[in-house]
């Protein structure tokens, strides 16, 4: 085959086709032609005539130049490569040609599988053309599904990492920014409005983010309510400005399922060049660590990655691993801080505070490991252990004639898991503790994270006689309506308010006292009892008593102590009190 000729088709004598090949060609199911070594079409089969007669630019007829006819339909590198391979096969022989290529004008997407074999030593070729468009489109659709998020049509995790990796293989000094976005409060909306509404909300978020980012940026979705924005050529200041634009996308509430849904977003930023980061996964991981820090700092915040975040993450992983072993090894202990009824000065209950007797670091307070337990998914296992231990201790005190209530702190993560009712029921059944001896405490900020789920579980528990307490009230800025609608019987006033009530005549003391009095009034109006936390001095104790608090808790009353010490402490306290104040 000579290959394509310039200047269009020229008339010439048509060489004769071998007489026996006509029947062979017609027996082939795919459109086929017999080619002379100079590229002239000697014969076409029945399938060629039947299947291709209505195609644009076809059919070609016997005597036409195959190369010119094909290039008239589509002229690109793949087609020219095919023609060159056919010419080489005709001239020199060798293995049959087998090529997939587009043989359609423009972008119509028509694909054929071309196979060619040499017929004889003279270089005659039989070329078949099998339409594989459906197969190619199926492969492309599968590949697209593997790279695109099905809900939003945005690049998914896999494709995002490919795009980031491509940026990192470019200019070694060009900065690449990854913004990790976590929608605040989406889970509560999804649970309340349903998953269909949640899916629509995610699609709306995706559209808004695409509108608020630059043309050169790429918005992708990792899954759930997590998005990533790839900022090309972004410095740290550029990335910070981009993060603010992403937050602006949430300035107006969303409307879905006939509801107005206000949302915010927390953003973690990681910026690096190819000289600083080798892998796309490293940059995404750093942005993920930054958004974790942003969420911990509060909603609707932005945090830029710094190496100390990685150090903290490694520490969390190490602590979580040690804590898992500590639960099984019996290294955890529970200390109990007494709760005093302020009017009678009688100790009526205790709050359980878990401690970790670390073999190297000594006795660790909960602040040293509870956040790590929540982040690593261990908080459920830890809380079940605490519930079982506290229930057994309280049952033992009850048997000793010490009818104390025991309060256990519940993590919002445990509420979200949905196993709280079953876990509490199991602890009571195993210990034999009466339900009215158990109090469950959830912080004000935790209530705000998922108020409906918390309310549903606590309502079920209160029916059985278990009391519910809202802890650290006054430390956050949650919706007051969510707090008062919670099925709780106790409101604990945060120690930050109690700390300021001492100091007669001081403006801050009077303001703190007014705040405490307001909370006490709120609790009373809602049919709840109030607890003053963190009472450290006799002056504070006298003040919160005068302000009408029901209970007090703090070092001035007693420090937390092991379960075995509590009966002795109560006995010595009773001997010291000659008279119980009225």
> How does pLDDT run across 562-580, given as a tens digit for each residue?
999 999 999 888 766 544 4
pLDDT of residue 262: 92
Domain count, the chain: 3
Q: Quick one: 320 and 409 in the same domain?
A: yes
pLDDT of residue 448: 61
> pLDDT at residue 15 above 70?
no
Q: Do 353 and 335 meet the contact criterion of CB atoms below 8 Å apart?
A: yes
Give the CATH number of the domain where residue 52 resides.
3.30.450.20
Q: Quick one: 279 and 329 in the same domain?
A: no
pLDDT of residue 320: 82
Q: Quick one: 440 and 367 in the same domain?
A: yes
pTM above 0.95, yes or no: no
pLDDT of residue 54: 58
Confidence of residue 10 (pLDDT cuts 50, 70, 90): very low
Domain's final residue, options 255, 281, 305: 305
Confidence of residue 42 (pLDDT cuts 50, 70, 90): very high
396 belongs to a structural domain: yes
Instruction: Tell me the average pLDDT of the chain.
Output: 86
pLDDT of residue 579: 40
pLDDT of residue 4: 42
Domain's final residue, options 282, 305, 328: 305
Q: Do 393 and 334 meet the contact criterion of CB atoms below 8 Å apart?
A: yes
298 belongs to a structural domain: yes
Tell me the residue range of the domain where 65 lies: 21-136
d(CA 471, CA 446): 9
> pLDDT at residue 503 above 80?
no
Q: Quick one: 347 and 415 in the same domain?
A: yes
293 belongs to a structural domain: yes
pLDDT of residue 377: 80
> pLDDT at residue 72 above 50?
yes
Q: How far is CA 500 from the centre of its chain?
A: 40
6 belongs to a structural domain: no
Average pLDDT of the residues in 76-85: 92
Confidence of residue 125 (pLDDT cuts 50, 70, 90): very high
Confidence of residue 347 (pLDDT cuts 50, 70, 90): very high
Give the CATH number of the domain where residue 364 resides.
3.20.20.450
Q: Quick one: 534 and 498 in the same domain?
A: yes
d(CA 295, CA 312): 15
Q: Quick one: 130 and 171 in the same domain?
A: no
576 belongs to a structural domain: no
pLDDT tens-digit profile of 186-195?
877 877 788 8
CA dist list (Å): 44 to 22, 23, 34, 62, 282: 8, 11, 6, 7, 58
Q: Quick one: 321 and 286 in the same domain?
A: no
Q: Quick one: 365 and 470 in the same domain?
A: yes
pLDDT of residue 446: 65
Domain's final residue, options 88, 109, 136: 136
Q: Quick one: 293 and 330 in the same domain?
A: no
- Comparing 63-77, 151-165, 238-252, 347-361, the range with the smallest average pLDDT is 63-77
371 belongs to a structural domain: yes
User: CA Rg, the chain, in Å?
Assistant: 38
- Comparing 76-80, 103-107, 287-291, 551-555, the range with the smallest average pLDDT is 103-107
Q: What are phi and psi of 126, to 5 degrees?
A: -105, 120
391 belongs to a structural domain: yes
> pLDDT at residue 429 above 70?
yes
Q: How far is CA 412 from the centre of its chain?
A: 17
For the sheet with 97-102, list strands across it: 41-44, 32-35, 125-131, 111-118, 97-102
Q: Quick one: 252 and 328 in the same domain?
A: no
Q: Quick one: 364 and 394 in the same domain?
A: yes
Q: Quick one: 484 and 515 in the same domain?
A: yes
430 belongs to a structural domain: yes
């Amino acid at each position: 085959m000579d290959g394509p000729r310039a200047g269009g088709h020229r008339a010439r004598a048509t060489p004769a086709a071998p007489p026996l090949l006509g029947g062979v060609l017609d027996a082939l199911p795919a459109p086929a032609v017999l080619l002379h070594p100079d590229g002239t079409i000697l014969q076409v089969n029945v399938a060629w005539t039947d299947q291709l007669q209505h195609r644009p630019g076809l059919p070609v007829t016997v005597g036409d130049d195959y190369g010119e006819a094909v290039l008239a339909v589509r002229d690109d590198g793949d087609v020219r490569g095919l023609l060159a391979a056919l010419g080489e096969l005709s001239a020199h022989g060798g293995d049959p040609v087998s090529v997939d290529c587009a043989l359609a004008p423009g972008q119509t997407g028509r694909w054929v599988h071309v196979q060619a074999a040499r017929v004889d030593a003279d270089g005659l070729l039989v070329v078949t053309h099998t339409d594989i468009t459906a197969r190619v489109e199926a492969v492309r659709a599968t590949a697209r599904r593997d790279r695109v998020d099905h809900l939003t049509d945005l690049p998914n995790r896999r494709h995002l990492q490919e795009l980031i990796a491509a940026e990192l293989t470019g200019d070694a000094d060009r900065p690449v920014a990854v913004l990790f976005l976590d929608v605040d409060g989406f889970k509560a909306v999804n649970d309340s409005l349903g998953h269909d509404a949640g899916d629509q909300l995610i699609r709306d978020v995706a559209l808004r983010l695409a509108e608020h980012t630059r043309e050169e940026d790429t918005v992708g979705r990792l899954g759930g309510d997590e998005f990533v924005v790839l900022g090309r050529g972004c410095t740290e200041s550029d990335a910070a400005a981009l993060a603010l634009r992403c937050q602006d996308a949430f300035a107006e509430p969303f409307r879905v399922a006939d509801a107005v849904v206000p949302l915010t977003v927390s953003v973690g930023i990681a910026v690096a060049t190819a000289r600083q980061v080798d892998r796309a996964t490293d940059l995404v991981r750093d942005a993920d660590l930054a958004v974790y820090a942003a969420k911990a700092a509060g909603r609707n915040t932005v945090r830029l990655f710094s190496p100390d975040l990685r150090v903290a993450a490694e520490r969390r992983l190490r602590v979580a691993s040690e804590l898992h072993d500590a639960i099984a090894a019996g290294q955890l202990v529970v200390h109990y801080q007494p709760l005093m009824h302020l009017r009678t000065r009688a100790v009526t209950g205790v709050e359980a505070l878990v401690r970790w007797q670390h073999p190297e670091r000594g006795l660790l307070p909960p602040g040293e490991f509870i956040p790590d337990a929540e982040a690593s998914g261990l908080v459920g296992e830890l809380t079940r252990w605490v519930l079982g231990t506290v229930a057994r201790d309280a049952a033992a005190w009850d048997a000793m004639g010490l009818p104390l209530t025991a309060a256990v702190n519940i993590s919002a993560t445990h509420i979200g898991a949905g196993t709280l009712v079953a876990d509490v029921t199991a602890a009571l059944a195993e210990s034999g503790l009466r339900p009215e001896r158990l109090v469950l405490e959830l912080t004000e900020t935790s209530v705000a994270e998922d108020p409906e789920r918390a309310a549903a579980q606590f309502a079920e528990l209160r029916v059985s006689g278990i009391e519910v307490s809202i802890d650290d009230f006054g430390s956050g800025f949650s919706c007051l309506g969510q707090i008062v609608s919670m099925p709780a019987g106790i409101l604990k006033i945060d120690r930050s308010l109690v700390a300021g009530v001492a100091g007669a005549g001081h403006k801050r003391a009077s303001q703190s006292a007014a705040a405490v009095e307001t909370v006490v009034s709120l609790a009373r109006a809602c049919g709840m009892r109030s607890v003053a936390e963190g009472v450290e001095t006799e002056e504070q104790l006298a003040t919160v008593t005068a302000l009408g608090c029901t209970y007090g808790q703090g070092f001035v009353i007693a420090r937390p102590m092991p379960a075995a010490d509590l009966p002795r402490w109560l006995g010595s306290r009773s001997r010291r009190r000659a008279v119980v104040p009225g």
